A and B are shown apart, each in its own frame.
Chain A
Amino acid sequence: MKKYVLLIVLGCCVSLARAQLVNQAAQNQKSQAELDWYNCSPEEDGVYGAAVNKAYDFLKGKKLDKCPVVAFVGFGLDVEHEDLKEAVWTNKREKADGKDNDKNGLVDDVHGWNYLGGKDGQVLEIGTWEGNREYMRLKDKYADYISSNGEFFKIVNEEVVKVDAPENLEEFYYYRNVVQQQSGLARAYAGWQYAYVIQSFGRKWKAEMDAKYPGRKHTIKDFAEEYQGIDMQDTLRLAAYSMIIFGSSVYKTSDFEVIYNNFVENSVNMSKKGYETAESTTDMTARQRVVGDNYLDINDNVYGNNVLLTSDAAIGTMAAGIVGGKRGNGLGGDGIMDQAEIMTLRVDVGQGNPCLKDMALSIRYAVDHGADVIVLSQQNTLYPDNQKGWMTEALRYAEKAGVLVIVPVWELLQDLAQVTYYPNRWMDGEKELTNLMVVASSDKNGNPSMQANFGAKEVDLFAPGVDIYTAYTGDTYQTGAGSGLATATVAGVAALVKAYYPELTGAQIRDILLQSVTSRKDAEVEKGIVVGNSQMQDLYLFQDLCLSGGILNAYNAVVAADKLVNNK
């Protein structure tokens, strides 16, 4: 077998990519423990897979009762993929004829829906961050305020002018303390406004010193002596003073003139340029142009199109391959539950955060169209209050319908006990959500992904998601890593349980998966963490990284499910 691969290397010029062909002849001789190793088990193959093959041995002779539907609320999908096409969900009440046959408002939603599409078949490929979306929503109201010690100022004609407090103080502080933290645009804008503060004080101080000591060449020491005894309560003054002192260390000079010219006179220009660069490189209107809906209005719910082959479909196809890749056909990896039907609801372009409206509508679509398992593409730290309810209600809706929802952690080394991400089981302050699973990825050796977020209560379990060989767009196969792939492994096993024990609800399946892990409770493992602003490694007990203290195990899960169903 001669197999050759085209590897494309981006050249220095953006539009022109240089390619390089690589021989990958050795690929096929690898064993399953090296490729789709999530099927393997520690005792039989020596890798910490999810023991799927072993589960099938147990299920031999038992009846498959249901073809479970797994909905991926995230990326596109290559629905024509040779190893996947039999596992693609088809909406039986819809036809690809330009009409809304099933009267659900969406035209030709045959295999799912692309919420990031336009009526003309265009596809949105530009993502935005929630923080920046909130900045756009609130900037006219709050971005111009500078607050100091309970007082409010604005820049008027380059001068700092005291103004009345904003009407809705609570919202103002949300903007200042939350949005500004999470929005590059908001920070750049605030920097620009602050530059006026430095300029205004700096000019005043220079004029004062020039008048007091005519003809003197001021040094930074002169400046400090003149102004150091400032009122600590006056935060604006203090900030301007500190910036000028800071400037002397940046320019490594004690010459006040140099600092004044470079820092005080130049600061407005520089930070204005910084903001303009941020603004011009952040396309906040793409959704408006391509999709045309109002993402802040949940009732504006007929938008998008049915184009699922997108650039990010590569990501969706990799995850789908883990669930639905045809077993035993020698192509790619063996999916965990190839009788499953995979529904694709595209809300994510692979960059930025999906809009909560798209996710909430997708969850409802999936539940209404028979999904048993829903996989979301990401958590986020910012769920704005005016939209968060849509998500909670959608998750409760899924819970009520017995549908399991799985979401991956980010690979940002954070302890989720300290940084709150949504969705989580406690997000509406009511009774814990029983159908929501948060998953991180582990490798062949049973070690957690070094980068993954973790949480003794917040993360449910780890699942194979590193070095996974699976399907890729265009009837090809590749190896990938990421907690997104770990969620696919969990979704596959959940679907397997559902297929043979369809009476189990999402909440019951979650319980089973948690109780049936390959326990690694007392294993001491290396884990990357973040302390302050720096990354480091530390030893952790596995049980301190996730609730179950272990790694997904399909065999244990089907045995437990069998016991639960048949011993009722």
Chain B
Amino acid sequence: MRYLFIFWLVLGSALPGIAQEGLRLTGKVRLLEPMILKVTGVDGKEVFSVTVENNQPFSLGPERIEPDVYILSFGETKQAIYLTNREVTIKGFYDSRNPGSSSLSFTGIDEFMELSKWVPTDLDPQKRTVKPEAKEQLEGNMYSALAYLADMTQYEANKMVLEWIPEKNRNTASAKWLAHRVDSLGKFAVGAQAYDFEFVDTEGKKVRLSDFRGRLVLVDFWASWCGPCRREMKSLLPIYEELKGEDLEFISVSLDNREADWRKMLEEEKLPWVMLWNQEGFTAGNEPNVIQRAYGFYSIPFIVLIDKDGKIIERGLRGEKVKEAILKARQGK
């Protein structure tokens, strides 16, 4: 391609952030076709919406809102944004046919930009966590707004931020969202009782996790089409050979959609531990399936270590960490 464009770098004329009686959303944008501009709460409640025409000024509100994180939708494009009771202006170009070449600029979102400074940038949601220094820097439900923007999947990371929110601010939409998230992440956090799955083995027999009570169990979720999974399994083999014993069991759970793929892989890899197949496959439609939701993972390989009583000891293990975790667990007995 000849044209290498950077699609951002836009400016907006700044208006002083004058406190107003409510949220107003005004502006004028270039459009290829009319678009619905909408603001909704994180709880899905609509604040307001309008159909915007090309180059026609629009104005929404004023609407008294709880300052919080909201979802701003331009047609199919969604942006989480912290809004307060003041005027926000938007100008620019929204390209519905090729959203990546849109160019939009905003004013009146200073709190949001302040908040954004604390959003962690780590690309892996498993590792993302807000810096502890953020405590005391923000106030009220800005913390839960931050957690929403940060989109972290670790229990501890979310729990920490939830605890920063004063009791009186716990009733806002984002605070409720965070409390709920912490709650559901807690179900598969370290120390929680592992979901007792039941899958079929190579002979078609049903096998439950609880069948292995009394032993340490390493569960590896994988699929035949997943290259990294297959490499991970190969690196599990020497660890298994070195550490195997009465007190330890390895289980590999295939998330292949087709049994034939799973069986073909078994033939090729010939691994010596328990091999199970999740008949539900990798995903249920576009949604994570039962086992993904129960263990809180959305990509594979995913490896967890479960103790003798069926409680999760470690999650998201890879490579050498597997061995370390098993050795640590054995010492702890």
The number of inter-chain residue pairs (CB within 8 angstroms) is 165
Q: Given contacts A1-B11, A473-B93, A476-B105, could you give 9 more A-B pairs where the C-beta distance is less than 8 Å?
A: A5-B8, A6-B104, A17-B99, A315-B3, A474-B104, A476-B103, A477-B11, A482-B2, A484-B2
Contact indicator A309/B8 (Cβ below 8 Å): no
A486's nearest neighbour on chain B, judged by CB, is B2
Interface centre among A16, A318, A469, A472 (most CB of B within 10 A): A472
Stretch at the interface among A23-31, A49-57, A275-283: A23-31
Complexed CA–CA distance, A475 and B9 (Å): 12
Interface residues of B in 64-118 (CB under 8 A from A): 74, 76-79, 81, 91-95, 97-107, 109-110, 112-113, 116
B93's nearest neighbour on chain A, judged by CB, is A474
- The residues of A that contact B116 with a CB separation of less than 8 Å are 21, 23
- The residues of B that contact A18 with a CB separation of less than 8 Å are 77-79
Q: Is B29 an interface residue (CB 8 A)?
A: yes
Q: A478-B9, A482-B3 are in contact. Are A21 and B99 (CB under 8 A)?
A: no
- The residues of B that contact A318 with a CB separation of less than 8 Å are 5
Q: Is B32 an interface residue (CB 8 A)?
A: yes
* Chain B interface, DSSP helix/strand/loop, else mixed: mixed
B residues in contact (CB < 8 Å) with A: 1-14, 29-30, 32, 54-55, 74, 76-79, 81, 91-95, 97-107, 109-110, 112-113, 116
A-B contact pairs, 13 of them (CB 8 A): A2-B107, A3-B105, A5-B104, A6-B103, A7-B7, A8-B7, A19-B74, A21-B79, A21-B106, A469-B9, A472-B103, A473-B103, A478-B5
Which residue of A7, A21, A410, A469 contacts B109 across the interface (Cβ within 8 Å)? Answer: A21
Q: A3-B10, A314-B101 are in contact. Are A480 and B77 (CB under 8 A)?
A: no
- The residues of B that contact A19 with a CB separation of less than 8 Å are 74, 77-79
Contact indicator A78/B30 (Cβ below 8 Å): yes
Contact indicator A17/B77 (Cβ below 8 Å): yes
Which residue of B2, B93, B101, B112 contacts A21 across the interface (Cβ within 8 Å)? Answer: B112
- The residues of B that contact A350 with a CB separation of less than 8 Å are 3
Complexed CA–CA distance, A4 and B79 (Å): 13
A residues in contact (CB < 8 Å) with B: 1-10, 15-24, 27-28, 78, 80, 123, 125, 309-311, 314-315, 318, 350, 378, 408, 410-411, 469, 472-484
B54's nearest neighbour on chain A, judged by CB, is A309
Complexed CA–CA distance, A483 and B2 (Å): 6
Contact indicator A28/B11 (Cβ below 8 Å): yes
- The residues of A that contact B8 with a CB separation of less than 8 Å are 5-7, 22, 24, 478
B72's nearest neighbour on chain A, judged by CB, is A19
- The residues of A that contact B99 with a CB separation of less than 8 Å are 8, 10, 17
- The residues of B that contact A20 with a CB separation of less than 8 Å are 79
- The residues of A that contact B55 with a CB separation of less than 8 Å are 80
A319's nearest neighbour on chain B, judged by CB, is B3
Contact indicator B78/A478 (Cβ below 8 Å): no
Contact indicator A476/B79 (Cβ below 8 Å): no
Contact indicator B95/A311 (Cβ below 8 Å): yes
A439 to chain B, nearest CB (A): 11
Q: A477-B9, A478-B6, A480-B3 are in contact. Are A6 and B105 (CB under 8 A)?
A: yes
A281 to chain B, nearest CB (A): 17
> Which 7 pairs show the lowest CB-CB distances between chains A and B?
A474-B93, A473-B93, A3-B11, A19-B79, A17-B99, A6-B104, A474-B92
B136 to chain A, nearest CB (A): 22
- The residues of B that contact A480 with a CB separation of less than 8 Å are 3-6
Complexed CA–CA distance, A314 and B113 (Å): 27
A22 to chain B, nearest CB (A): 6
B309 to chain A, nearest CB (A): 38
Complexed CA–CA distance, A23 and B81 (Å): 13
Complexed CA–CA distance, A475 and B12 (Å): 9
- The residues of A that contact B109 with a CB separation of less than 8 Å are 4, 21
Complexed CA–CA distance, A344 and B5 (Å): 21
Complexed CA–CA distance, A474 and B92 (Å): 4
B228 to chain A, nearest CB (A): 17
- The residues of B that contact A2 with a CB separation of less than 8 Å are 12, 14, 107, 110, 113
Contact indicator A479/B76 (Cβ below 8 Å): no
Which residue of B12, B13, B78 contacts A16 across the interface (Cβ within 8 Å)? Answer: B78
Contact indicator B76/A8 (Cβ below 8 Å): no
A177 to chain B, nearest CB (A): 26
Which residue of A6, A16, A123 contacts B92 across the interface (Cβ within 8 Å)? Answer: A6
A77 to chain B, nearest CB (A): 11
Complexed CA–CA distance, A497 and B324 (Å): 74
Q: A311-B98, A314-B103 are in contact. Are A3 and B29 (CB under 8 A)?
A: no
Contact indicator A23/B3 (Cβ below 8 Å): no
B1's nearest neighbour on chain A, judged by CB, is A411
- The residues of A that contact B79 with a CB separation of less than 8 Å are 6, 18-21
- The residues of A that contact B107 with a CB separation of less than 8 Å are 2-4
- The residues of B that contact A6 with a CB separation of less than 8 Å are 8, 10, 79, 92, 102-106
Contact indicator B4/A482 (Cβ below 8 Å): yes
Interface centre among B11, B29, B54 (most CB of A within 10 A): B11
Contact indicator A475/B91 (Cβ below 8 Å): yes
Contact indicator B113/A27 (Cβ below 8 Å): no
A350's nearest neighbour on chain B, judged by CB, is B3
A530 to chain B, nearest CB (A): 15
Q: A21-B112, A23-B116 are in contact. Are A8 and B100 (CB under 8 A)?
A: yes
Contact indicator B76/A5 (Cβ below 8 Å): no
Complexed CA–CA distance, A70 and B112 (Å): 43
A472 to chain B, nearest CB (A): 5
B79's nearest neighbour on chain A, judged by CB, is A19
A262 to chain B, nearest CB (A): 15
Complexed CA–CA distance, A17 and B29 (Å): 18
Complexed CA–CA distance, A292 and B2 (Å): 29
Which residue of A80, A478, A484 contacts B7 across the interface (Cβ within 8 Å)? Answer: A478
- The residues of B that contact A7 with a CB separation of less than 8 Å are 7-8
Contact indicator B93/A476 (Cβ below 8 Å): yes
- The residues of B that contact A315 with a CB separation of less than 8 Å are 3, 5
Contact indicator B10/A472 (Cβ below 8 Å): yes
A35's nearest neighbour on chain B, judged by CB, is B9
A378's nearest neighbour on chain B, judged by CB, is B2
Complexed CA–CA distance, A19 and B74 (Å): 10
- The residues of A that contact B54 with a CB separation of less than 8 Å are 309
- The residues of B that contact A15 with a CB separation of less than 8 Å are 76
Q: A17-B99, A472-B10, A472-B93 are in contact. Are A4 and B30 (CB under 8 A)?
A: no
Complexed CA–CA distance, A5 and B6 (Å): 12
Contact indicator B9/A8 (Cβ below 8 Å): no
A400 to chain B, nearest CB (A): 30
- The residues of A that contact B78 with a CB separation of less than 8 Å are 16-19
Complexed CA–CA distance, A315 and B7 (Å): 11
- The residues of A that contact B81 with a CB separation of less than 8 Å are 21
Complexed CA–CA distance, A21 and B10 (Å): 11
Contact indicator A309/B102 (Cβ below 8 Å): no
Contact indicator A474/B110 (Cβ below 8 Å): no
- The residues of B that contact A27 with a CB separation of less than 8 Å are 9, 11
A3's nearest neighbour on chain B, judged by CB, is B11
A452's nearest neighbour on chain B, judged by CB, is B2
Complexed CA–CA distance, A357 and B36 (Å): 38
B81's nearest neighbour on chain A, judged by CB, is A21
Contact indicator A314/B106 (Cβ below 8 Å): no
B4 to chain A, nearest CB (A): 5
Complexed CA–CA distance, A144 and B149 (Å): 57
Complexed CA–CA distance, A8 and B101 (Å): 8
B35 to chain A, nearest CB (A): 12
Complexed CA–CA distance, A334 and B21 (Å): 40
A230 to chain B, nearest CB (A): 36
Complexed CA–CA distance, A123 and B102 (Å): 18
A250 to chain B, nearest CB (A): 18
